[in-house]
Amino acid sequence: MKYGCVIDAAYFLAFGDLAREAENAGWDGIFIADAIGIQTKEYPASDWFDPWVVLAVMADRTERIRLGTLITPISRRRPWKLGREVATLDHLSGGRMIFSVGLGAAKDDCGFYAVGEQMDLKGRAELMDEGLEIVAALWNGTPVTRSGKHFKVDGMTLLPRPVQNPRVPIWVVGVWPKEKSMKRAVSWDGVIMQKYASKPWDKDTPGDVVALREYVAANRSNSSPFDIVVQSFGSDLSAKGRAAAREEAAALADSGATWLMEHFLSAEDPKTAAKWIRQGPPR
């Protein structure tokens, strides 16, 4: 199993240093949020950042570690522009990008509700499906023609192709055990597990992963590599100490998880985040 750390905070000027810290500490990946601005009645406007600009800095400061967003709400993006951005970062990083997508926190992100973006769940799902098909097709480096409900592409070719072959891995949030959501996820390169009707900090258990792994085996139509991504929120593992964290992580690995993402929600400043990252993953 591989280990990723997720930086959800807004101190983006430190992200290049934190990426290097993560690489030196043995993490396999470092991931950042993709939002325009988190702003609700409970959370007033605060500093935020553009993930693609920040990822370019992180790519420049590192050599080995995988990079990406967790997650990109593809429904509000032009897929040809998004495909260009991710492919560019794949070249800048030497083939280290991972592209993870979901419907997004539309009610919390003013980049949805304050600017007239699609809020309807079904509409956002349609936009995501069409967008993913276009992005993946454009990464082939051959002319793409598509005419869907939301997007039209007429003979467009996007060069250069990403460094990775056949493409930058695409991970999709899959709400377990909702059939429609899971069918979408298993058609790509990985599923980011999210339990239906759970709170964000509810942990994925080994039993959950076993059930998900069995679903993937029964419903996936090809034998290419596929990732099962589980998450730990609020520094759950770190708070228990690394010995307990290693035991819990090992159980998830044995159940079939291929990535464990550790979110450091309690890291209120770069120094705190760096201290947390330097502990290294719970191998």
Check residue 67 and report its DSSP letter.
E
Q: Which residues have a Cβ under 8 Å from the Cβ of 166 and sit 6 or more positions away?
A: 140
Tokens, residue 277: 């990252």
Q: Where are the domains of the chain?
A: 2-278
pLDDT tens per residue across span 250-268 = 999 999 999 999 987 656 6
Pick the CATH number of 2-278 from 3.40.50.300, 3.20.20.30, 3.90.550.10, 3.10.129.10: 3.20.20.30
Structure pTM? 0.93
pLDDT tens per residue across span 151-194 = 999 999 999 999 999 999 999 999 988 999 999 999 999 999 98
Per-residue pLDDT band at 47 (split at 50, 70, 90) = confident
How much is the pLDDT for 200? 55
Closest CA to 22 of 76, 59, 74, 71: 59
